[in-house]
Amino acid sequence: MSADRLLVPVANPETADRLLDTAVDLAADRDLELLVLSVVTVPMQLSLSQARTSLETDDREQLVDDAVDRVRGYGVDASGRIRFARSVASGICGVATDADAEAVLLGWRGQPRRRDVVLGSHIDAVLEEAPSDVLVERIDRDRESVSSVLVPVAGGPNTRLAASIAGSLARTHDARAELLTVVPDRTETVVGDARDLLTRTSPELGAVSSVEETVLEGPVVETIVERSERHDVTVVGAAEGGLFRRVLVGDVPETIGREADGTVLMAKRHEPVSSALRRRARDRVGSLFR
């Protein structure tokens, strides 16, 4: 991560505090400024300039002000912003670009998947278009005290980002961390490769007082979900690769996000891809199904 701001969009005072708790933890460890954002969507019949003078925003401004005050109460630098935009996602991505944010932290209620929608229309669009890393936290449950953090390890930049985020949470709470990888069998070669992967990933945690590296055999999702019962937070990296909406996070991380115990964060590293390349890739894949 290269910039020094964490962007935290908020929309609902009932869930904003849960998201802000995690944001404060990350900001405290990484010396970040929090930028709290609320997006006001503007209908097409209004210009954005008209919207600024005609739409009521008192509730949004109060939400942002309260969030900023709460964050500053923990000794973390924070500022707030209201953004007028045609969609929530375009507003978030626009501010992320303007502010040179290193990451966006989004809240997710864990809704059942719908056709053509993975986590939610706004979240999907931000995952696809954000000019920064994206963290998605499930916020439909209260977060308890954090004494342990689980990181499922699959390799690649998203796993490394997940481990880095987990390390920040562990340090803030003086919690232990467990790196876990799941193998189909316990042959010597398979287990040896798995342990090498854990050893390569461990430095991404940073200075954490207690780190356990675990190799388990079994079905991937079920094994990770069962292991999550031993931990307060699970941080999982998105599946690697893919330019398309259906693989924004991947089936395994998505299912873990829905089913794991405690707080769950999904982490997706920003990988710049030109819009022209994205269009060509979509066209190519689309042609396979014609």
Secondary structure of residue 239 in the 3-state scheme? coil
Q: What is the pLDDT of residues 16-43, one digit of tens each?
A: 999 999 999 999 999 999 999 999 988 8
Q: What is the pLDDT of residues 235-246, one digit of tens each?
A: 999 876 543 333
Q: Can you list the alpha helix ranges (DSSP code H) found in the chain?
A: 13-30, 48-54, 58-72, 88-98, 121-129, 157-173, 188-201, 220-228, 251-259, 275-287
Domains of the chain, each with CATH number or no CATH: 5-138 (3.40.50.620), 148-273 (3.40.50.620)
Which has the minimum average pLDDT: 36-45, 117-126, 170-179? Answer: 117-126
The predicted model scores a pTM of 0.85
H or E element in which residue 41 lies: strand 33-41
Give the phi and the psi of residue 149 in degrees, each rounded to 5: -130, 130
Q: How confident is the model at residue 82 (pLDDT cuts 50, 70, 90)?
A: very high
